[in-house]
Structure 1
Amino acid sequence: MRLSALPASLDGLRLRAELAAATREGWEQAAARQAGIGRLKKFIAAGRAHAASKLAGKGGGLEAARALSGVMNAAVRALFDSVASDFDEAGATAPGLAVCALGGWGAGELAPQSDIDLLFLTGTPPREGAEAIVERMLYVLWDCGLNIGGGAIRTVDEALALVADDVSERTALLDLRWVSGDERLVSTLRLKFGRAHRTRESITPFIAAKLSERDTRVDRQGDSRYAVEPNIKDGKGALRDLQTLRWLAQVLYGNDAMERWVASGLLTVQDVERYLRAEDFYWAVRFHLHTLNGRKDDRLTFDTQPEISALMGYADSEDTLGVEDFMRDYFKRAIDVGALTRLVCAKLEADELKDPPSGIGRFMPADGVQKGDNALEEAGFVVRSGRLAFADPSRVEEDPVLMLTLFELAAARHLDLHPDAVALVSRSLRLVDDSLRRDERAARSFFAILLESDDPRITLRAMTEAGLLGAYIPEFGDIVARTQFNMYHRFTVDEHTLNALGLLREIEQGKLVADHPLATRIFPEITHRRALHLAVLLHDTGKGNGDQCIEGAERARSACERLGIEEAETELVAWLIANHLEMSDAAQRRDLSDPRTVLDFAGRVANMERLRLLTVLTVVDIRAVGPGVWNGWKAQLIRDLYEATAAVLAGGERADEEEARARLHGRADRARTLFRKEMERIDPEFGRRWIASLDDSYWLSFAESDRLRHAAFVRAAESRGGEVACGVRVDRRRSAAEVLILAPDRDGLFADIAGALALAGANVVGAQVATTTWGAAFDVFYVQEQGGKPYGWSDLSALDRLRASVEKAARGGLGGEILIPARRVARREAAFTVSPYVKLEGQAADGALVIEASGRDRPGLLHDLARAITDLGCSIQAARIDGYGERAVDVFYVTEQGRKISDPEKEKALASALMTVLGSGEAGASGAPSRLRAEASAGR
């Protein structure tokens, strides 16, 4: 940036004059020094504002970055000239010392909190007073609050010696730029650096080192470029990847690399436009990010995304939030950067400057050719350096099906794709029309990829990034790079879907039997394998379009019809998508010991084939959300619901109501019989009494090992003679700590226990309440630590403390109002508006009113909700606790004096009381009352 381009208020010459005046007064004098620093600070602040003014909507990032770099050029030059003049009348013109820019500043691009990377070059001998000049300059820059990187004093030879051993130093010198001082030193360094490091022997190890450095960085940040809180600088497909491409280009071709690449035919003008468009977008985001945070922080977190999207002109629409549109544009840029990276790597491989691919091709034989490759040429393809390419690119225009065949062959032969071929596909997407979408040959290639490839996510991701999958199946194209603005989903919708397909294949191959034994066991029994794969591929295509299940089912019907799927199979796919949330909702939000829960769910699935299909779909859908979402607790709930429903569907179809209930009662009786047989050996009298004291719900809720353990706990408590007892153990199978409580039943007992658990920092994930015929409450709670591990996992001594506090609360209550330590709502979490709701369902259970209460998750929420129910004279028979990031969903089975609640006034009072509890949590997070509603559904 030329100084003449600066406005008058940012005139570098004027700044030099002002700093020179400070020099004449003496930099050693504190008052003069502070005056000079004040002038410099004022100049830099004005410069940042001037640079920020270059931002315009979704662009202007590059111009802003370059403007700020120009401001820092002027500031550092003025400071150097001023300080140097204090030591020598010749000032900056005296030989023997130069100040240089490195890093992003050297490349002419700066964000507000970026490092100012300095290098001071000295002659031999150095200029007199060089060290004092440098020291004074650095102190002034630090006093101005700048992030100073480097600042070393080196001779030309010393700089070259470091470059020989350090790839980072070599990278820095690629962006070396003179700022002020003895320019001849900089020219000498550039000349010697070019001679020594632009040979093939030097370039090859540098390229290998930079690509290895990139791999390490990506591994550190997370391998997926689709994580919903990306690092704008170091993430995969982000700004550093673009900079790496530029560095490689500089080494190979010089600073005009892009022009040479276009001239050679490697990159098209459109590729260069994609590079610049991504760079401009990223710099705009980074500029806003640094300004908002006031520090060097390049992670695009949830709390900054809405603010930046608004600054860049994204607004909410009827269908999507502005922040979701903003993040979708971000991920589209990441896809573009990934494509450019592949192009560059292919060029390096062709020039033998990079090792061959290790993606899909990692399964290839050492010679790079498989038996039958002669057939590739007949089909219109060739293998070049281990990569699959079109033999005659012009044939794609005549037969667009070849684009799908390219990916089919790559998956079947375990070949990586040649970037030229992928680029041709991307440029030929106009050929993907309804005729191609209905072509039987295209469908065969697509289904070969979906159903026969070893790992469909690899090939389908490549198709997505080339734009082909979204063009061929427009319903999927609508979710490419789409995000959901919440803390629950960890990836973009398309990446989540592809991960689910990858998990589906691993389950089918028997690779996840330890994690998913039920899904692995039932998969071979599934008849409609293709329908399941299509349902997984299309299950989220309704997101962003009203009710995701209804819209997704309609979109699936359209896609299946074009693919030539028969009507019956199409309807099965649509049914799976319309109901793909039902099993997780029933398992995690309903009491599985209540016959009505199982009967209603069995009525929905209707037969065993649908049950198997929905079970596997549910498993991969939950597991693909992100790390830590799937755990032993959820796995056990899904298994319990499957087994109970399978009993009702025995024989293939759902039994009628009477027969279904009889089957569930039979399961409870079989559990009693097994228990009785075991207790005959241990304590027959207790066994008979315990069996008679508990209804079917208990015997349907727990496995045999659980029931025997519970009996041992109760017998031990009775032998001690106390009315109240508590036991705590880690249940690895459920990934939770099991808390057993035996106490005289009373109003508020559940709330008191929940409060004690909250005070201990235990996160309740489930609770089962039972009352014996002699009036004792036998309650079972399952609790975890934050992060999903069983409570006490990281500190076993915490289990003893928890036992004592819960027993005390069960015996005497909590003693009035309790103060549960408030968890400070993090900025990331506070960025989300969580609209509370209360939903009352009178028909969801036979003997209780089911209340679903949802709002912002916080410590003590379960206690506060339970206390509100108890204060209205109601009792809690069971509870299910679920969570989706910042949102908690608590479900209570509530009775009044042992009877189901049907009084409208009582229902209204319950809804109002619970809404008050939920609303206080949201107001506390946002600082203002939130929008409250009495009934809604928890949209996911």
Structure 2
Amino acid sequence: MWFSENDFLSCFGEENPVASFKSAIAKENAHLKLRFNPDKATTGLLTEKAHFIDNLLQACWKHFMGACDTHHGLVATGGYGRGELFPYSDIDILVLLDPACAEDYREAVAGFANFLWDIGLKPGLSTRSVAECLQAAAADQTVFTSLLEMRLIAGSTTLFETLKQQVNSDTLWPSEKFFPAKLSEQERRYAKFHDTAYNLEPNIKEGPGGLRDLQVISWVFKHHYKAASLRELIKYGFLPKSEYDNLITARDILWRLRFALHNLTGRCEDRLLFDYQRELAAQLGYFDANDQPDVEQFMQFFFKTVVDIERLNEMLLQLLNEKLISNKESLNPIPITANFSSIDGYLEASNKDVFQKQPLALLEIFLILQQSPSLKGIRASTIRLIRKSLPLIDEEFRQNKRANRLFMDILRQPRGITHQLKRMNRYGILAAYLPDFANIVARMQYDLFHIYTVDEHTLFVIRNLRRFSLAKHNKELPFCNNIFLLISKPEILYIAALFHDIAKGRGGDHSTLGETIARQFCQQHELPSSDTKIITWLVRNHLLMSMTAQRKDISDPDIIHDFALHVGSIEYLNYLYLLTVADIRATNPSLWNAWKDALLKELYISTHQALHRGLLNPMARSERLEENRKEAREELIKLGLSPTSIERSWQHVSDDYFLRYSGDEIAWHTVAIAACHDHELPLVLLRPQTLRGSAEIFVYARNEVQIFSICTATLDQLGLTILDARIITTADQYVLNSFQVLEQSGKPITDLHREVHICTSLRHGLLTKTVKSSKNIHKQSRQAKHFPIKTTLTYLENPSHKHTILELVTTDRAGLLSTIGRAFTEQNIQLHDAKITTIGSRAEDMFYISALDGTPITDQHQRQALRDTILQLLSG
């Protein structure tokens, strides 16, 4: 499909030129889509689209500019200037004005620009004289960058050549200024993506290792050397032909993916969203095989491609820095060891045979970097040697005791552990030295909870642990920093972190499989048996603390005692707590909040007290109960309540109440209950900040079966996330319900008007037994629909035999808890407690229930009826 300039000019003679142009653009895009083959390079298609737009713009320019079409200039910039135009890319153009007659043609230029918008091109258009271009370029390197690849489309050759000559001179942005500016820009761009290419929904243009990385190299290199193409990287000795070919292959892969994305979405889309990953995997020929889904194989292929680009970007920018910025003196080798010298602050192998003659130097080089903090990294030529020498890390190398000692030395250093492990992963050393680690490199965890690949997540866990050890990060999580000071051997934590998820993707329990792999590592590296015992225990139990905190009632002394029995010692508790916090924060930073922080801290403190007291002398429930009652009474007397008033307020509540609420919470409730008359019920209170970092909403009312359903539905409609629910029913049928909540953003409630609105809305709903409809509700995320979770309902054993425990696992959705409440109402079920756990889009909730008379539900028919009702309501 081809449209010449004359074809477009003739469209202006038609009755509806806008419709004709739109039709031509649609036909061209359809034609490109038809010709696109995901197995072949897209270079020709990108060039064709650029020529198509050239002809379209030339026709529009002649039509609107008329006689002045040679006085001014129409210039392509950016990607369009390079002739790389994807189906729905923005069209970056510059109208270059002749100041002598600019005012005479302002209206014509406006008409030209408006027409482009009318036909749907969405141009990135600027209008400037040569002098204005140079002024803007001098002030902003991004403007200068866009002009580096400009190309004349129509109009004045004289104006264009004048601008081009000035832009290509070395005075406007000399290389020694331009290079650091682009480097700084790249660092800021990387920071937006947490300095990792391994995101679940990566941006193939802007993300680390994306197309922008290649463009940065191109801009810096072409500007300095006035080069026509990247192929001249070979000519100037920056890349051998093999690496250049790898660079172009990787670029072509990303081009194909971006082209396919545009075709699939019908817009300029550069994010590899879940919505498109399966379709793209199918287009590229992936299919489910060996228990690995097609999309995981496809994403692993993508991640390995971008990490190659990221590594080449690192090497080339370093080499360009040497040529463009560094002085000659800094390029003189400074001996560091017999094997390595420093050149411009980077470690360089003394000769090309270093690794062949001494393979252990493949580990030694990273230890030297740790021990010499003034060094900036490894020189590009040596990175090449490392990559070339990876086959030397064979089984004999891995069994070598000197190699084992070197690896342990790296993990025991006081600085640089995270940086060097990341380098070792990027250069392939970790996967070569630890074959089990190779299994998790670029492995995607296809859910909404884990936003990084397994290897990247693992390194983030180690980074978080390292931050706990550094005083400069003390303000981040001071409690963790204080606990870290009690750790005698930090390397135990780092090894446990390295292996905690190493068996992901193998099928079976990754914790148990990982324990076996960790034990083999410890034995091979001759760790003391006591260290091996802690490491393997941590790997096997790395989920224990988070699951206990989130899914069990940690106010119950029996729960704490059972957990303390499992942990066994304060030393193990310290290690487990730090690993748990680091793991959660490295899984998905947005899911970490004050609630989880406070919950884990509370479990740690309670368990520490239990272990300190002695496992043979556990705290009885009666002791905890009396402790809370005493603390609350003392606080209430300070507030001016009489002992009579206190006892009257407490006369109907059960022992469970004093067990499950702290003295502070009991005092807060009691003050309100004492001042409230029956005719004023329901009583709704809100504390915006509790010791657990969340807001607490407290409801005191006469018991009615639909209270839980109304409360949860109203809170959901108000856009609040329910973290926990505690349900207490008194002997004379009053309820004391409390809900720990946060805003949907994960932040606490900070606005007084918001507090009043929440209390008013909830009280109104309880009085009228209705839920007010509102647009401010929880909406299922766009991504969640790609991870459907099969609903399962399981009745669990309850050690106390007091209530029946019902576990629900399902996809989190709006109104989930209120739906469960409806089911309880329909089946005459009484709710006593609820543990709410949401992991990404996965809800794992536990309900402590009984029949209306308070007895456990043991009848299988009644259990099945409740299960059927819940499934029916959820599916409806």
Deviation at 1:841, TM superposition (A): 0.6
What do residues 574-615 of structure 1 show as CA deviations (whole Å, max 9, x unaligned)? 332222222211211122234553354344334443333222
What do residues 105-140 of structure 1 show as CA deviations (whole Å, max 9, x unaligned)? 111211222122234567898899987886665455
Q: Is the 8 A contact 1:647 1:664 kept in 2?
A: no
- The answer to whether the aligner puts 1:888 opposite 2:862 as a matched pair is no
1:605 counterpart letter in structure 2: V
- The answer to whether the aligner puts 1:868 opposite 2:843 as a matched pair is no
Q: Is the 8 A contact 2:97 2:127 kept in 1?
A: no
- The answer to whether the aligner puts 1:18 opposite 2:4 as a matched pair is no
Find 1:833's aligned residue among 788, 809, 812.
788
- The answer to whether the aligner puts 1:52 opposite 2:33 as a matched pair is yes
Find 2:86's aligned residue among 111, 134, 144.
111
Q: Is the 8 A contact 1:599 1:648 kept in 2?
A: yes
What do residues 18-51 of structure 1 show as CA deviations (whole Å, max 9, x unaligned)? 34555xxxx4xxxx24465555444433332343
Deviation at 1:518, TM superposition (A): 4.8
Q: Is the 8 A contact 1:54 1:63 kept in 2?
A: no
- The answer to whether the aligner puts 1:756 opposite 2:714 as a matched pair is yes
- The answer to whether the aligner puts 1:391 opposite 2:366 as a matched pair is no
Q: 1:295 matched to which residue of 2?
A: 267
Q: Is the 8 A contact 2:367 2:409 kept in 1?
A: yes
Taking a change above 3 Å as real, the CA distance of residues 251 and 904 of structure 1, as seen in their structure-2 partners, is same
Taking a change above 3 Å as real, the CA distance of residues 192 and 722 of structure 1, as seen in their structure-2 partners, is closer
Q: 2:430 matched to which residue of 1?
A: 469
Q: Is the 8 A contact 1:857 1:887 kept in 2?
A: yes
Q: 1:428 is paired with a residue of what secondary structure?
A: helix
Q: Is the 8 A contact 2:334 2:343 kept in 1?
A: no
Distance 2:781 2:402 in 1: 53
Deviation at 1:561, TM superposition (A): 4.1
2:355 counterpart letter in structure 1: V
Gaps of 5+ in 2: none
Q: 2:542 matched to which residue of 1?
A: 580
Q: After the TM superposition, which residues 762-777 of structure 1 pair with which residues of structure 2 at under 5 Å, given as runs?
A: 762-777=720-735
Bigger CA drift: 232-241 or 524-533? 524-533
Bigger CA drift: 179-188 or 384-393? 179-188
Q: 1:234 is paired with a residue of what secondary structure?
A: coil
Q: 2:862 is paired with a residue of what secondary structure?
A: helix
Distance 1:762 1:37 in 2: 48
Q: 2:256 matched to which residue of 1?
A: 284
Q: 1:610 matched to which residue of 2?
A: 572
Q: 1:731 is paired with a residue of what secondary structure?
A: coil
Distance 1:875 1:128 in 2: 80
Taking a change above 3 Å as real, the CA distance of residues 687 and 180 of structure 1, as seen in their structure-2 partners, is closer
Q: 1:174 matched to which residue of 2?
A: 148
What do residues 238-295 of structure 1 show as CA deviations (whole Å, max 9, x unaligned)? 2222111101110122334544432443212232123213322222232233334433
Q: 1:708 matched to which residue of 2?
A: 667
Deviation at 1:80, TM superposition (A): 5.5
Q: 1:838 is paired with a residue of what secondary structure?
A: strand
1:747 counterpart letter in structure 2: V
Q: 1:934 matched to which residue of 2?
A: none
Deviation at 1:785, TM superposition (A): 0.7
Deviation at 1:397, TM superposition (A): 1.3
Q: 1:480 is paired with a residue of what secondary structure?
A: coil
Q: Is the 8 A contact 1:16 1:81 kept in 2?
A: no
Taking a change above 3 Å as real, the CA distance of residues 107 and 696 of structure 1, as seen in their structure-2 partners, is same
Distance 1:846 1:599 in 2: 18
What do residues 48-72 of structure 1 show as CA deviations (whole Å, max 9, x unaligned)? 2343345433663444433322333
1:531 counterpart letter in structure 2: I
Deviation at 1:782, TM superposition (A): 0.9
Q: 1:404 matched to which residue of 2?
A: 363
1:427 counterpart letter in structure 2: K
Q: 2:587 is paired with a residue of what secondary structure?
A: coil
Bigger CA drift: 407-416 or 327-336? 327-336
Q: 1:359 matched to which residue of 2?
A: none
Bigger CA drift: 679-688 or 754-763? 679-688
Q: Is the 8 A contact 2:326 2:344 kept in 1?
A: no
- The answer to whether the aligner puts 1:338 opposite 2:310 as a matched pair is yes
Q: 1:3 matched to which residue of 2?
A: none
Q: 1:763 is paired with a residue of what secondary structure?
A: strand
When the two structures are aligned, how many residues end up with a matched partner?
Answer: 868
2:543 counterpart letter in structure 1: L
Q: Is the 8 A contact 2:76 2:151 kept in 1?
A: yes
Distance 1:808 1:443 in 2: 68
Q: Is the 8 A contact 2:519 2:532 kept in 1?
A: yes
- The answer to whether the aligner puts 1:71 opposite 2:39 as a matched pair is no
Q: Is the 8 A contact 2:835 2:847 kept in 1?
A: yes
What do residues 424-458 of structure 1 show as CA deviations (whole Å, max 9, x unaligned)? 21222111112222222222232233232425222
- The answer to whether the aligner puts 1:147 opposite 2:122 as a matched pair is yes
1:347 counterpart letter in structure 2: L
Q: After the TM superposition, which residues 768-787 of structure 1 pair with which residues of structure 2 at under 5 Å, given as runs?
A: 768-787=726-745
Bigger CA drift: 869-878 or 69-78? 69-78
Q: 2:282 matched to which residue of 1?
A: 310
Q: 2:440 is paired with a residue of what secondary structure?
A: coil
Taking a change above 3 Å as real, the CA distance of residues 355 and 647 of structure 1, as seen in their structure-2 partners, is farther
Distance 2:334 2:100 in 1: 68
Deviation at 1:501, TM superposition (A): 1.1
Distance 1:512 1:844 in 2: 42
State the percentage of identical aligned residues.
Answer: 29
Q: 2:337 is paired with a residue of what secondary structure?
A: helix
Bigger CA drift: 59-68 or 883-892? 59-68
Q: 2:810 is paired with a residue of what secondary structure?
A: strand
Gaps of 5+ in 1: 1-8, 357-366, 921-940
Using the size of structure 2 for normalisation, the TM-score is: 0.89
Q: 2:442 is paired with a residue of what secondary structure?
A: coil
Using the size of structure 1 for normalisation, the TM-score is: 0.83
Q: 1:601 matched to which residue of 2?
A: 563
- The answer to whether the aligner puts 1:544 opposite 2:505 as a matched pair is yes
Q: Is the 8 A contact 2:468 2:477 kept in 1?
A: yes
Q: 1:361 matched to which residue of 2?
A: none
- The answer to whether the aligner puts 1:636 opposite 2:598 as a matched pair is yes
Find 1:272's aligned residue among 244, 267, 271.
244
Q: Is the 8 A contact 1:381 1:391 kept in 2?
A: yes
Q: After the TM superposition, which residues 774-813 of structure 1 pair with which residues of structure 2 at under 5 Å, given as runs?
A: 774-790=732-748, 792-793=749-750, 795-810=751-766, 812=767
- The answer to whether the aligner puts 1:916 opposite 2:872 as a matched pair is yes
1:376 counterpart letter in structure 2: I
- The answer to whether the aligner puts 1:534 opposite 2:518 as a matched pair is no
Distance 1:477 1:212 in 2: 32
Distance 1:374 1:395 in 2: 17
Distance 2:284 2:786 in 1: 17
Q: After the TM superposition, which residues 342-741 of structure 1 pair with which residues of structure 2 at under 5 Å, given as runs?
A: 342-353=314-325, 376-378=336-338, 380-414=339-373, 415-420=375-380, 421-509=382-470, 516=477, 518-526=479-487, 529-546=490-507, 547-565=509-527, 569-594=531-556, 597-650=559-612, 654-655=615-616, 660=618, 663-676=620-633, 682-687=641-646, 694=653, 697-717=656-676, 722=680, 724-741=682-699
Q: Is the 8 A contact 2:654 2:731 kept in 1?
A: no
Distance 2:473 2:113 in 1: 58
What do residues 529-578 of structure 1 show as CA deviations (whole Å, max 9, x unaligned)? 43322111121222222233233333333443443445664454333222
- The answer to whether the aligner puts 1:261 opposite 2:236 as a matched pair is no
Taking a change above 3 Å as real, the CA distance of residues 352 and 174 of structure 1, as seen in their structure-2 partners, is closer
Q: What root-mean-square deviation, in Å, do the aligned CA atoms of Structure 1 and Structure 2 show?
A: 3.6
Taking a change above 3 Å as real, the CA distance of residues 517 and 183 of structure 1, as seen in their structure-2 partners, is closer
Distance 1:176 1:521 in 2: 57
